Amino acid sequence: MSSSSAAPRRGEKTETAAAKPPMRDALVAAAFQLFLERGYEQTTVDDIVALAGVGRRSFFRYFPSKEDVVFPDHERCLADVTEFLAAGDDADDPVLRVCEAVRLVLRMYTENPTFSVQRYRLTKKVPGLRAYELSVVWRYERAFAEYLRRRLAGRRDGSLRADVIAAAVAAAHNNALRSWLRSDGKGDVGTEMDHALGYVQSAFGPSPAPTDPGRSDGSEDVVVLVSRRGAPLWRVVQEIEATLGRDPEQG
C-alpha cells in the first residue's frame, strides 16, 4: 500500500470534523444563502438540503418547516427566558425581573448582528414571515404574563396588570431592537434598551410613598380641608396651598 493511501494521522480526522459546522448551522447557512440569492418564496426545502449536502429527514429533524429555519434560536431563547423567570424568588421586583429576562432575547440578536440584520430585511419582505415573527413575540409575551400573574396573584387587578406589563415589556424591547436593526446593527442598542425599559419601570415599578425629609420615622402628615359649598375653585386651591404652607403668590 502506498503512503498516499495510508490511514489519516492522529488528529487529522478530528481537525476536519471540527472545521465542519454542525448540521443545524449548515442548514441555516445554506437556507439564508439561497434566500439572499433567489428569494424566500423561490427557495424550497429540497434546495436547502441539496446545498447543505444532507437529506430531507435531516432538515425536518431540526426544523418543522421552512419558516422555522429563519428563526432557529428562539426555542432555546424562550427556554432560557422561562428558566430565568422561574429561578427568581419572592424578594425580586417582578417588573424588574421581566425587564432583565427580555434582555436575554436582545442578547440572542446581538450575538450575531449580521444574521439578525439579514433576517430583519428578509422578514420585512415576506408577509408570512412577519406573521410568524408576531407569533414568536406572542410566546415571549405569554411567558412574561404567566410569571407576572403568579407574582401579582391576590392583588387588585393582578391579572390585568400582568398582561399590560408583559405587553409593555415586549413593546419596549421591540422598539429598541428594531431601531438597532434599521441601523444595520451599528447603533448602541444597550442604551436604547435601557431607555425603553425605563419607561416600563417608571410606569409599573414600585413607587415608594413620599416622606417628609424632616421625619426620621417615614410617617406622613394627613391634611383635611373643609371648604364652603359653592366656593369658587380658585378659592379652594388657595386654601389648600395656604394649609400646606405654600405661598400661592410664588406659583
Q: Is this structure's pTM higher than 0.75?
A: no
Residue 218: the pLDDT is 47
Residue 19: the pLDDT is 47
Distant-in-sequence contacts of 175-184, Cβ < 8 A, 24+ apart: 176/106, 177/106, 177/109, 178/120, 180/109, 181/109, 181/116, 181/117, 181/120, 182/120, 184/117
Residue 152: the pLDDT is 95
pLDDT tens per residue across all 251 residues of the chain: 433 334 444 444 433 334 455 899 999 999 999 999 999 999 999 999 999 999 999 999 999 999 999 999 999 999 999 999 999 898 999 999 999 999 999 999 999 999 999 999 999 999 999 999 999 999 999 999 999 999 999 888 999 999 999 999 999 999 999 999 999 999 899 999 999 999 999 999 764 433 444 444 444 555 565 666 666 665 655 666 666 555 444 44
Tally of CA atoms within 13 A in the half-sphere of 138 that contains its CB: 6
Q: What is the DSSP letter of 178?
A: H
* Structure confidence by residue, pLDDT tens digits, 116-130: 999 999 999 999 999
Tally of CA atoms within 13 A in the half-sphere of 51 that contains its CB: 17
Domains along the sequence of the chain with CATH: 20-70 (1.10.10.60), 71-204 (1.10.357.10)
- H helices within the chain, ranges in order? 12-19, 23-38, 45-52, 56-62, 66-70, 74-86, 94-110, 113-125, 127-151, 158-182, 189-204, 233-243
